[in-house]
Amino acid sequence: MLRRRELIALASGVAAWPLVSHAQMADRKRRVGVLIGYAESDPETKARLTAFEQGLQKRGWSNRSNVQIEYRFVGSSEDRYQPFAKELVGLEPDVILTHTTPATAAVQRESRAVPIVFVNVSDPIGAGFIGDLAKPGGNLTGMLHLEAGIVGKWLAMLKEMVPNLARAALVANPKTTPYDYFLRAAEGWRHHSELS
């Protein structure tokens, strides 16, 4: 999960989008679209968005003052991704912040021009969002949620704690987008260890 300091770091990156000088801030109010994969009432979502807005404020950006933040929350209604993405792109924002792989995919389908910053995406290359982690290219960039190599580290830690461990199970929801990404990493690590 994205922690407060990571979200503030993201806010720094969003604040650095093509808004180069404070003189430009007075010219017009900037618009940020935000598409969140969780419900608005979710406590973690509220905490993240509070940290996001506080990070922007520390850099001189205040919601409804010199920046207008347009939030859309999908929650449990997955059929909302595409309509919300279309709606946000239609607002002609300066940047869109997306939360989760489905949110990012929905916005990417709507625009290849609006800058998109993603969070909580585990496999941005496999999802087709970027071509390379070092040089994403296109209109998308963001923060990698968890790199696949972490699975090997988790398994190695288990093996270190229980040296004679011979079998481990991966518990995950196969309907989620990172499932195959992490499963491939676990299977790759298994071939190089004694675990089955």
In tens, the pLDDT along 95-121 reads: 999 998 899 999 999 999 999 999 988
Name the token pair of 134.
Answer: 């070092």
pLDDT surpassing 60 at residue 7: no
DSSP-H helix ranges across 81-196: 81-90, 101-110, 149-161, 179-191
How many CA atoms does the CB half-sphere of 151 hold within 13 Å?
23
Considering just the CA atoms, what is the radius of gyration of the chain in Å? 19
Query: Could you tell me if 85 and 110 are in contact, meaning their C-beta atoms sit under 8 angstroms apart?
Result: yes
Task: Kindly state the average pLDDT of the residues 1-6.
Answer: 46
User: What is the rounded CA–CA span in Å between residue 57 and residue 15?
Assistant: 9
User: What is the rounded CA–CA span in Å between residue 26 and residue 172?
Assistant: 48
Q: What is residue 191's predicted lDDT score, i.e. its pLDDT?
A: 56
User: What is the rounded CA–CA span in Å between residue 148 and residue 160?
Assistant: 20
In tens, the pLDDT along 123-173 reads: 888 888 888 878 888 899 988 766 667 777 777 788 889 888 877 777 777
In tens, the pLDDT along 29-62 reads: 899 999 999 999 999 999 999 999 999 999 999 8
Name the token pair of 187.
Answer: 């299977």
Report the DSSP pairing between strands 67-73 and 95-99.
unpaired
Read off the pLDDT band of 15 (50, 70, 90). very low
